[in-house]
Amino acid sequence: MGILEVENLYYKYPDGTEALNGINFKAEKGEMVALLGPNGAGKSTLFLHFNGILKPYKGNVLVKGKPIKYNSKSLLEVRKTVGIVFQNSDDQLFAPTVKQDVAFGPLNLGLSKEEVEKRVKEALKAVGMEQFENKPPHHLSGGQKKRVAIAGILAMEPEVIVLDEPTAGLDPIGASHIMKLLYNLNKKGITIIISTHDVDLVPIYANKVYIMSEGQIIKEGEPKVVFNDSEIIRKANLRLPRVAHLIEILNREDNVPIKMGYTIGEVRRNLKKYFEGHCDIE
């Protein structure tokens, strides 16, 4: 049983756009799953089903094996388990200070003042934003806003965090910091599901990848299985990670038979193996 599962999901927007056409998706507890696909594929629409913000006209969303019922009791239960970080942090942050923003969710759960304070402190510490607690969110940088939005979700102590393009609009270091933060949260046992266009970061952090196109899942598997399918990668307007592209060119253009790899670490090991005895790479 997955912690979050979607069975044969169909969704149509009121204007008639068929955004999801029979989606099957599963995240196991403790996984870090990446959802890739071109703009308009339906990634955000699918994510909005994960905690019941949108209701499908056909199919089921199951949280810890239980189908979402779309009544207030079921939705409250689901939202305690699954937290969503929206793509645009300004859609998520609205309180006058960082601290008040992070406290908003836990206060709505009806927790005691002491418990709320404890959760806010812990969440801000986890994302490295404790020194900003009295700042207005709109004075923060993009990466800092993203951290505060993540803290707001963390303070709800969810088991699953879903993030719609968490690195979009961030500089390379900011993007890498957010991915490391998510990696650390994942190591603590939180299931992480992200959508992204950042193919270089996916094989480093995700253990499972789904590729979406025109409201359907067109491929799923470990990163190396998915990236190995060049036809699918092209269909989804994606590209290989840069290091994998280099190996592909060496294989194809230069007849250098280095084994394919998708991260710097993997490619480095494969290069060392190839060059063993010929040169020293320390």
User: Residue numbers of the site for ligand ADP (CB under 6 A)?
Assistant: 13, 15, 17, 19, 37, 39-45
Instruction: Quickly list DSSP for 231-277.
Output: HHHHHTT----HHHHHHHHHHHHH---PPP-SSHHHHHHHHHHHHTT
Nearer to ligand ADP, 37 or 203 (CB): 37
Residue 135 CB, shortest distance to ligand ADP, in Å, is 30
Nearer to ligand ADP, 44 or 100 (CB): 44
Residue 281 CB, shortest distance to ligand ADP, in Å, is 40
Nearer to ligand ADP, 44 or 88 (CB): 44
Here the tokens at position 36 are 């890739």
Residue 11 CB, shortest distance to ligand ADP, in Å, is 9
Residue 261 CB, shortest distance to ligand ADP, in Å, is 28
Nearer to ligand ADP, 37 or 143 (CB): 37
Type of residue numbered 214: E
Nearer to ligand ADP, 13 or 70 (CB): 13
Measured CA to CA, the distance from residue 217 to residue 211 in angstroms comes to 6
Measured CA to CA, the distance from residue 178 to residue 192 in angstroms comes to 12
Nearer to ligand ADP, 195 or 263 (CB): 195
> Which residue pairs from 53-56 have beta carbons closer than 8 angstroms and sit at least 24 positions apart in sequence?
53/84, 54/11, 56/9, 56/10, 56/11, 56/20
Residue 14 CB, shortest distance to ligand ADP, in Å, is 7
Residue 4 CB, shortest distance to ligand ADP, in Å, is 17
Nearer to ligand ADP, 39 or 112 (CB): 39
Q: Does residue 108 sit in helix, strand or coil?
A: helix
Give the number of residues written for the chain: 282
Q: 7 and 26 in contact (C-beta within 8 Å)?
A: no
Question: Which of 185, 181, 186 is CA-nearest to residue 166?
Answer: 181
Residue 39 CB, shortest distance to ligand ADP, in Å, is 4
Q: 4 and 26 in contact (C-beta within 8 Å)?
A: yes
